[in-house]
A and B are shown apart, each in its own frame.
Chain A
Amino acid sequence: MNIPPAYVLALSGILFAMGVLGVMIRRNAIVIFMSIELMLNSANLVLIGAARAMAPAVEALRGHVFVFFVIAVAAAEVAVGLALIVAIFRTKGTIDVDEVSSLRG
């Protein structure tokens, strides 16, 4: 097993930055939501990488349990978030985030 932990952390940092980029440049609300999932996923990768770096210790398994919880919360978040997007589409007729600006002063 010869993967330096720094490589795993660097990969997840790059994936997180790409998720931020997606939130900033895309206008489709669903794609923005997918970018948020990408960021959650990269955070999970950090936890798994750190758990593996402390591997023989049983305490390192807490990292896996935490990732399990994050995945469960992500599932709940997706259910509510997509319901919100469907509700916005029904009232506005679009999911382009530039068009949804009723609250702009």
Chain B
Amino acid sequence: MTLDLLLFLGLALIAVLAAAGMLASRDAVYSALFLVLNFLTVAMLYLLLNAAFIAMVQVTVYAGAIMVLFLFVIMLLGTGREVIGGPQRWQPALAVLLVAALAGEILFILLGPAAQMGTEMLAAGPQFGSPASVGRVLFSEYLVPFEVISILLLVAMVGAIVITRVQRRSQS
């Protein structure tokens, strides 16, 4: 049991508990805050897996920008407490059953290739996953997809503005 493995297991436990908290909280604000905790924990896991650049992107974009957007919309629309299950009492039980089956299948399928990867990771060196090394791949091999992504973000921005404006015009 090395320090790395202990850290990983601790972070994995926090991530799963935060996800469970997100599913169980009745209030959407608590769900959002649990999701922030989950994202931050996954960012720590990225750091543990030598992905420093992606970890920082995860913190700024996911835990920062995206979750602020979520919280902003929750504040805008108000938070009604929802009753999990609703009119169909049997539905959550059936969902848990089906998801347990799905989880079993996912683990069965994923752990086959994982066994071929061996049980230990080789040393990666300090350069692996640093902003410089990821940037070199991103701006040489993947330059065109990178530019396409910028257009996609622009289109999404325009689309969001148009979707929320249409209603106002039809009212006036």
Contact = CB atoms under 8 A, between A and B. Distances in A.
B164 interface: yes
Contacts of B54: 44, 48, 64, 67-68, 71
A10 B104 CA distance: 10
Contacts of B86: 27, 98
A6 to B, nearest CB: 4
B70 A4 contact: no
A82 B48 contact: no
A86 B73 contact: yes
Contacts of A7: 8-9, 12
B128 A61 contact: yes
A61 B20 CA distance: 31
Q: How large is the interface on B (under 10, 10 to 19, 20 to 34, 35 or more residues)?
A: 35 or more
Q: Determine the main DSSP class of B at the interface with A.
A: helix
A56 interface: yes
B133 to A, nearest CB: 6
Contacts of A100: none
Contacts of A28: 28, 80, 82
A69 B70 CA distance: 20
B85 A65 contact: no
Nearest to A56: B122
B131 to A, nearest CB: 10
Contact of A11 (B12, B58, B76, B124): B12
B142 A24 contact: no
A4 B150 CA distance: 36
A84 B160 CA distance: 8
B121 A52 contact: yes
A71 B167 CA distance: 29
Listed from nearest, the 4 A-B pairs whose CB atoms lie closest are: A76-B156, A17-B103, A6-B114, A55-B124
